[in-house]
Amino acid sequence: MASYDVFKDLAIIIVFAKAFGILARKLKAPQVVGEIIAGLIIGPSLLHLVEPTDFLVQMAEIGVILLMFSAGLETNLRDLLKTGPLAFLIACAGVLIPLLGGTALYACYYGFDGIGTDSFYRAVFIGTIMTATSVSITVQTLRELGRLKGKVGTTILSAAIIDDVIGIIVLTFVIGFKNPESRPATVIINTLLFFAGSIVLGFIVFKLFKRVDGMFPHTRRIPILGLALCLILSYCAEHFFGIADITGAYVAGIILCSCKDSDYIAEKMDINSYMLFGPIFFASIGLKTSLANVNGDILLFSVFFVIVALAAKIVGCGLISRLCRFSWPDSLKIGIGMMTRGEVALIVSQKGLSVGLLTPEYFTCVILLIITSSVVTPIVLKVLYSKYPGETAVR
Residues in contact with a second copy by CB under 8 A are 2-8, 10-11, 14-15, 18, 22, 54-55, 57-58, 61-62, 65, 220-221, 223-225, 227-228, 231-232, 234-235, 238-239, 245, 268, 271-272, 274-276, 354
Cβ proximity to a second copy: between 12 and 311 the closer is 12
Least separation in angstroms between CB 281 and a second copy:
14
Least separation in angstroms between CB 243 and a second copy:
11
Give me the sign of the Cα torsion angle 196, 200, 203, 204.
negative
Cβ proximity to a second copy: between 22 and 193 the closer is 22
Q: Which of 273, 67, 256 is nearest to 164 (CA)?
A: 67
Cβ proximity to a second copy: between 268 and 322 the closer is 268
Cβ proximity to a second copy: between 208 and 224 the closer is 224
Cβ proximity to a second copy: between 88 and 274 the closer is 274
Distance between CA atoms of residues 9 and 197, nearest Å: 40
Q: Which long-range contacts (CB under 8 A, 24 or more apart) does 328-332 make?
A: 329/384, 329/387, 329/388, 329/390, 330/151, 330/152, 330/388, 330/391, 330/392, 332/384
Distance between CA atoms of residues 372 and 378, nearest Å: 11
Least separation in angstroms between CB 44 and a second copy:
20
Least separation in angstroms between CB 125 and a second copy:
19
Cβ proximity to a second copy: between 136 and 354 the closer is 354
Least separation in angstroms between CB 230 and a second copy:
8
Least separation in angstroms between CB 242 and a second copy:
11
Give me the sign of the Cα torsion angle 163, 168, 169, 171.
positive
